[in-house]
Amino acid sequence: MYTKKQNQPYYTNRHSCFLLQYHLVLVTKYRHPVLVNEIKGLVYDTIREIFDEKGLVILEMNGEADHIHILFEADPFTAPGMLVNIVKTKTSRRVRAKYGDTPFMKQYYWKPLFWSDSYFVTTVSENSLQTVEAYIRNQ
C-alpha cells in the first residue's frame, strides 16, 4: 500500500516516491451505444470496485454511450495494459451475465463481445492534469 507524501502530491511506499497518472479510454465493440442506464451503472461500479481492490485512485471517470474515460493514479507496480485486460474482462463478464440475453444487448451483440480489442492510454503531467480532468468531467 502507498500513502500521500505530506504536503506533496506524491505517493510513497517503502522504497519509492512516485506520482503516476494515466488517462485511459475504453471503447465498446463496434462503438455500439450500450453504456446507458443500468449497464453503464454496472460497468462504472465494477471499475470502481477493481480500482479499490488494487488501491488505485480514480480522479475522474465519465464517458458517452460508446466509450469511457478514466483518469487515475497508480503505483509503479501497476502495468496499464494488464489493468485494461482486467477491467475489460470483469466488466464484460458481469454485463453479459446480467444483460446478455436482453433484447437491448442482443440487437448489438450476437457473440459474447462487449469491448473493442483496442484502447488508449497516456500519462498525464502536472501541467495537463486539470485540462484532462475538465475534459472527462464534461463528456
Residues annotated as catalytic are 135
What pLDDT is recorded for position 1? 61
pLDDT tens string 51-98 = 999 999 999 999 999 999 999 999 999 999 999 999 999 999 999 999
> What is the residue-averaged pLDDT of the chain?
93
Residue 55 identity: G
- Quickly count: other Cβ atoms within 10 Å of residue 7's Cβ: 6
Number of domain units in the chain:
1
CATH number of the domain residue 104 falls in: 3.30.70.1290
Mean pLDDT along residues 5-9 = 76
Which stretch of DSSP H or E encloses residue 120? strand 115-123
Residue 137 lies in a domain: no
CA 85 centroid distance within chain: 11
Q: Distance between CA atoms of 139 and 90, rounded to whole angstroms? A: 24
Please check the confidence at residue 2 and state whether its pLDDT lies above 80: no
Residue 28 burial by CB count (10 A; 0-12/13-18/19+): exposed, middle or buried?
A: buried
Give the percent of the chain with pLDDT over 70. 99
What pLDDT is recorded for position 132? 95
Q: Distance between CA atoms of 25 and 63, rounded to whole angstroms? A: 9
Residue 122 sits at the vertex; the CA angle it makes with 117 and 128, to the nearest 5 degrees, is: 145
Residue 23 lies in a domain: yes
What pLDDT is recorded for position 74? 94
pTM of the model: 0.92
Residue 38 lies in a domain: yes
pLDDT tens string 40-53 = 999 999 999 999 99
Confidence band, pLDDT 50/70/90 cuts, at residue 3: confident
Q: Distance between CA atoms of 114 and 55, rounded to whole angstroms? A: 26
What pLDDT is recorded for position 15? 82
Residue 2 lies in a domain: no
Q: Distance between CA atoms of 89 and 114, rounded to whole angstroms? A: 9
Host domain of residue 98 = 10-124
